[in-house]
Structure 1
Amino acid sequence: MTDPILLTDEQMREFIVNGYLVFEPTVPEGTHEACYERLNQIIDSELNPGNNILPRVPAMRHVLNSPEVRGALISVLGPNYLEHPHRYCHPLKPVEKLVPEAEAEERLRRNCHQDGYTPMGHPRQHYLRYARIMYYPQDSPVELGPTHVIPGTQFNRGLTDEDRARALPLAGRAGTVSLTHFDVGHAAGVSLLPRHRHMIKFIYMRASEPTAPTWDCKSMHWQKPQRIESPYDLELAWAHTWDWLCGKRDRYDSWPQATGDVAALIAQLDVEVDLAQRLAAAQQLAGFGVDAAAAVPVLVECLGTDHQAMRAAATYALGAIGEPTVALLAKALRAAGREADQHEAPPAWNEGATNMEDAAQALAAVGEPAVEALCELLADESEWTQVNAAFALGEMDSHAAAAVPALTRSLEDGSHRLVRTALVALGNIAQGVPVEALGRMLSADHPNWQEEAGRRWVPRDQVRTNAAIACAQLGQAAAPLESQLFRALDDSCGHVGAFALSALQQIGSPTATQAAMDYLYSQRWDAAIDGERQF
């Protein structure tokens, strides 16, 4: 296998800012044509194979294993990234009747969305923990309806009409691949041509906390990229993400210290002030650190209801100010919990994505000084407060190692939402995690986890899936769970088995490897078999 081609510093900066990159993989001659023809046959004559699209069109492995795709995934997710079992071919069939331009534009706007997670809902995350590869086996001019991307929306809690109007087509030659932040907004284009258009989506996940740059890094100093397509200057969030990806313990290392009049900057946060000035003021306040404590109440007021860009800027400004923000942010989470308890849990927990409170994102950005307060919130009476606390701790990675006992106790709760979020947090922290607790969750069940949701999933499926993911994140530390992981391969939810397989691969012992190979041999699919040929 050819060595991966890692992203450059400039490409990483572009990806952090815009949320996507486009490139062409190096593959054997004829790969794209073969994939396109096979996909045409499948889509014309069968139901969409869904997650089974790769074994149905195995030539696509050349794309996924190309030095460009592997290098890009290593660069943004680390060398031990995990392949998510969800894959999907998004086809547009040949057009028989021309679509009027106005209708095409309206359909494109309606198509704009941020993806949901599978099998069930999952919190949206600012950090690069999930990434999406989109492959186009055919020439994809704008007229064929390629995917459109909305740059800079990876920090959004939703899409606005303003966002939808900025959708850009990812047109390109056959074989074009796009790499996107999982939460960036995008849309299927509208085809105007009488031929097939296919986009095949693959999802990948980060398995471990960054400890050093995993791209072709020449400088760990943050600077803006030359190409910025995000409509708002969120450099504080971008620099914070860069420092996290560089493996710096101080996720604000790149942000310069500020001098000046804190009171004057606070005044510029007023909602009557121009948005660009407010963004600049919030981010400049971050440079004062704890000396900007007087700004905390005003910045907290920006959370939750303000313009999405302002909320993101305030989130990371509060994180930079640090310890003086914790009490007020914890109070905000408690208040959010009381409000949420008056309503049913959002349906996105069943299928889709759930937005955590901005206060939780801010506490995550504060880091270790917020751990004690978040552990207290794990014992709050409100389920929503508990879930947000678990989420924030997980976003800190190993900075929240002291929270492992409290998060482990949360696994005994009857709320599948809390248990699911606590499992994600434990997998991200990956230090001092009691593996026996994860082992129990691989087969855990509860009367509250049986209610059928979309596509016949039940909450138990996501609990067990998250447990298997956490085992994969622990790597060799999960070796005592080999026997439980063997049994999890046969779970009725295919996602559980897929991540149990990943965990065995990460463990890497002879017995784990043999079990994985035995399982894969039994799952092998002969792509040459069809309705006319059975052997």
Structure 2
Amino acid sequence: MREKTYDCKPTLTDEDVVDFCKQGFLILENVVPDEVNLRTTEFLTEHPSLAPHEILNEEWFVEAVIKNPAATGAVRSLLGANILLPTWMSNHRIECPRQVNCGWHRDGGAVFTPRLDFLQVFYYPQDTPKALGPTEVLPSSHFIRGRRRFIQHYGNIRHGAWTTAPAGSIFITHYSIWHRATAATASGVRNLLKYLYWRTVPPERDWVVDGDVDAMELNFLPGDRPGNPILETWHQCIPVAQMFYWLCGLVGEFEFTGGPSWPISATQGWDTDIGLPPGFELEQKSAPNA
């Protein structure tokens, strides 16, 4: 497929972007129409390849899935204007039931960086309960260094999140997030399409901006409660804030001072801006839709 770009309005807010930085994934449930889900399933039955690239030549699929408003609005928020559309397609198609045959891993080519230059996206064209073996992701693990041979043997991890979802759901992930296949106990076929979008422009804070947002009020702490054991206590908010700053276009301005300085101070509600990098207030004033 020839490379094409696409633009649309962003849909994520500052808080949404921070949440993606924290969790490393976003699930959009039931955003693809039922008739498209059915048509996709029929197409994949006729083309059972694990790399059904030809589906990208189908206009109905491109319009409803690849250019899906909810999905591309989120992708546009994270990757900026004129996103590069997927040029290949993978299908994690399985015959159920099956035992787990793929341990925890990061996909090939994953790197550790605050940059966000591409996103890996998944689409379920059928209802996918636990019985059909949905992908499991480990929230915040895109900040954890770990090669496949060192992590694939791990079993259940307490904070793992199953991507169970109704038909027509799309989930967007950071490419470096830990994930794994799960066992399927039901009968039948489960399709899971996987594809990537790419950045074509430098980062800037041009998503849905609230001009009243203060960097001291944003919660950069991953997890539902303080002390999320997935990341190191006290340090877990630092890579989140660094990624958010990069996405704001404040490249090179982030540097953690150390001790209980920002962003640790912000997550604890302490009234001090010691260590707050410059630029956020200036960027806030100049944001196009502030």
| TM-score in same-fold range (> 0.5) | yes
In the alignment, what sits opposite 2:43? 38
131, 134, 139: which one aligns with 2:122:
134
Distance of 2:250 and 2:198 partners within structure 1 = 20
In the alignment, what sits opposite 1:228? 223
Q: 1:192 to 1:41 in 2, by over 3 A?
A: farther
Report the Cα offset of residue 225 of structure 1.
5.9
Deviation sequence 1:72-96 (CA, Å, 0-9, x none): 111111112223423201101133x
- In the alignment, structure 1 segments of 5+ residues that lack a partner are 261-279, 281-286, 290-319, 321-535
Percent identical pairs in the alignment equals 24
Report the Cα offset of residue 207 of structure 1.
1.7
SS in 2 for 1:203: strand
Report the Cα offset of residue 15 of structure 1.
0.7
Report the Cα offset of residue 111 of structure 1.
2.5
Give the conservation status (yes or no) of the 8 Å contact 1:148–1:170: yes
Distance of 1:5 and 1:80 partners within structure 2 = 11
Give the conservation status (yes or no) of the 8 Å contact 1:20–1:181: yes
Q: 1:11 to 1:199 in 2, by over 3 A?
A: same
Report the Cα offset of residue 50 of structure 1.
4.2
Q: CA RMSD in A?
A: 3.5
In the alignment, what sits opposite 2:189? 196
SS in 2 for 1:192: strand
Q: What TM-score do the two structures reach when normalised by structure 1?
A: 0.41
Structure 1 residues 130-209: aligned runs within 5 Å:
130-158=118-146, 160=151, 165=157, 166-209=159-202
Largest Rg, 1 or 2:
1
Query: Which one-letter code corresponds to 1:35 in the other structure?
Result: T
Structure 1 residues 368-447: aligned runs within 5 Å:
none
Q: 1:156 to 1:179 in 2, by over 3 A?
A: same
In the alignment, what sits opposite 2:209? 217
More strand by share: 2
Q: 1:140 to 1:26 in 2, by over 3 A?
A: closer
SS in 1 for 2:87: strand
Q: What TM-score do the two structures reach when normalised by structure 2?
A: 0.72
In the alignment, what sits opposite 1:247? 249
Q: 1:225 to 1:172 in 2, by over 3 A?
A: farther
Distance of 1:27 and 1:128 partners within structure 2 = 25
Distance of 1:56 and 1:112 partners within structure 2 = 33
Aligned residues: 248
More helix by share: 1
Q: Which has the higher relative contact order, 1 or 2, with Cα contacts under 8 A spaced 6 or more apart?
A: 2
- In the alignment, structure 2 segments of 5+ residues that lack a partner are 1-5, 262-266, 268-273, 278-290
Q: 1:24 to 1:60 in 2, by over 3 A?
A: farther
Report the Cα offset of residue 162 of structure 1.
6.1
In the alignment, what sits opposite 1:93? 95
Q: 1:256 to 1:82 in 2, by over 3 A?
A: same
Report the Cα offset of residue 249 of structure 1.
4.8
Distance of 1:158 and 1:56 partners within structure 2 = 38
Structure 1 residues 331-370: aligned runs within 5 Å:
none
Give the conservation status (yes or no) of the 8 Å contact 2:122–2:192: yes
